[in-house]
Amino acid sequence: MKFQTTKETLFNGIQIVHNIVGSKVNLPILSNMLLEAGNGKLKMVTTDLDVGISCEYPVEIVENGSITVHTKRFSDIIHELPDGNVTLSVKKNNMVTIQTENCEFKISGLPKDEFPKLPEFKDKEAIKIRQPLLKEMFIKTSFAASKDETRYVLNGILFEVENNKISLIATDGRRLAIIEKNINTGI
């Protein structure tokens, strides 16, 4: 695997996905971030087995491939790099080389096949909603969700989409919060 991009692009992606990685993990691979280069894009993925996040950025691909790297170490290295172009390459022994014009770092990685797969979502059932609206709806319902771990059925927010209407509903058994918004869902 080998690709070229800018420090800014790489660091922006890391900032999005690194928050999922906890300091105390059961499996060492969960401390890692999956990097996949292909089709002119770099995909970055992290998960804690409950929550997963991925993002893609356009990069200049020299050679397709994938590797996992320790998220904190990788983030620290990229953060300290000077602004400008970055070349990342992986050798057959899973050694990752990060190069800029004036410096070079090497860290060891792990193969992709050890990293847990995130579920694939099909676009045919997807809807688009503006982030501020979704955030407002979550804020107006999340306070009513149960925080009691023994009542795990009530720990979440019900998200319903039908007939161009989105509803979020939460309860802890005593309180009930409902918010409905009309929106063109395309479903």
- The pLDDT averaged over each successive group of 10 residues in the chain (187 residues) is 95 90 80 94 91 91 96 94 95 94 94 88 74 94 91 90 92 95 78
Q: Is residue 154 part of a domain?
A: yes
Q: Which domain CATH number covers 89?
A: 3.10.150.10
Q: Give a yes or no: residue 187 inside a domain.
A: no
Domain span at residue 103 reads 2-114
Long-range contacts formed by 23-26: CB under 8 A, 24+ apart: none
Q: By C-alpha distance, which of 91, 37, 83, 26 is closest to 62? A: 37
Q: Could you tell me if residue 163 is inside a domain?
A: yes
Q: Would you state the pLDDT for residue 187?
A: 59
Per-residue confidence (pLDDT) for residue 186, from 0 to 100: 65
Q: Which pLDDT score, from 0 to 100, does residue 9 have? A: 92
